[in-house]
Structure 1
Amino acid sequence: MTTTDLGFVHRFEPGDASVRPLLLLHGTGGDEADLLPLGRRVSPGAALLSPRGPVLENGMPRFFRRLSEGVFDADDVRRRAADLAGFVAAARARYGLPAPLALGFSNGANIAAAMLLLHPETLAGAVLLRPMVPLSDAAPADLAGRPVLMLSGAADPIVPAENAARLAALLTAAGARVEHATLPAGHGLSQADLAGVEAWMAREAPPA
């Protein structure tokens, strides 16, 4: 069921308390229903918490403002990351959840990366699909061994390979255990992404 409380329009699906919950973060133009099937597939039984991005760009929901393609409003990134971290804390209290594992695509992956860098206590780890560096001047975080999977596309016209590599280096320097793979794909998701996420979840997802 979609609800509007806790500060974000969101969907919550209860799950098995022994499985780490997922925080699902959609890409530009998506909504709170977009990644539910992916979440159910890659982590059967997990509780699913899926907010809708509160920023509109030409009517399309996003999690923060951008000035142009690939150029982000740094002040808005910081503000929205704090707001989303607050929502996660409120949702954890409401629904009785441990810290979730983020699963984000594109803009959703970028806000998840921003939370890792700015509010590392919020997430138990993350799966970042087609992410970019969200902030160039984020202070070093302490990610203390948190697992992070990054999947980039070799033919992605939006995310430069150098940018994705820089994000992997930033997260590694902050203490995360980063696995970064580049797949034979563009910006959209492929069967290789699904297989890669499923294998990583089975191997690396932290227990609840």
Structure 2
Amino acid sequence: MHARRLSISDCFEFTPRTFPDHRGLFVAPFQEDVFVEAVGHRLRLGQTNTSVSHRGAIRGVHFADTPPGQAKYVYCPSGSMLDVIVDLRVGSPTFGEWTSVLLDSTEYKAVYIAEGLGHAFMALEDETVMAYLCSEPYNPAGEHGVNPMDADLALPWPEDIEPIVSEKDTTAPNLKEALEQGVLPRYDDCAAYYEKLRAAEPR
């Protein structure tokens, strides 16, 4: 497996080897040793989630209060999707910027999204399956969102696909409004939490 640091700090892309044969294919989308070497700590597992989406479905931009936040390790077992990570950490050098990765069931790439970062994706074909490992259980009181269609964010949704967005995400505040409301994570708090996780690792 190959790990690559993305343009926003504290998020990574992982590309595993695939092993096709006459029976089908085998792949290991998550490998702890490669993950720890790249991120600096183990992935805590509080919950696993699976979503199945129609072509054009957008989910996000979602984030959680940090600490503890909710880190995510995401991959696509079936279909394809455009995965988007947005830096929502106030005070970050890349605040308001985004990066994207194509996740599909051909390469089985995965992305790691650290606590405090915003996450969204669009399904590029029907019956697209997203699987993600979450560091913390779902906490409704600590969950928030930013409108994925925010013109100022200008997320890279394909123009040839009609977006399908939930009412919850459509009515979420834009980035400017979320900043004014004081709901966004602070970069210093997130960085301190990442360091705490790394310091807890056995030497």
The TM-score with structure 2 as length reference comes to 0.28
Q: Compare the two structures and name the one with the higher strand fraction.
A: 2
Structure having the higher helix fraction is: 1
TM-score scaled by length of structure 1: 0.28
Larger radius of gyration: 2
Answer 1 or 2: higher relative contact order, Cα 8 Å, separation at least 6: 2
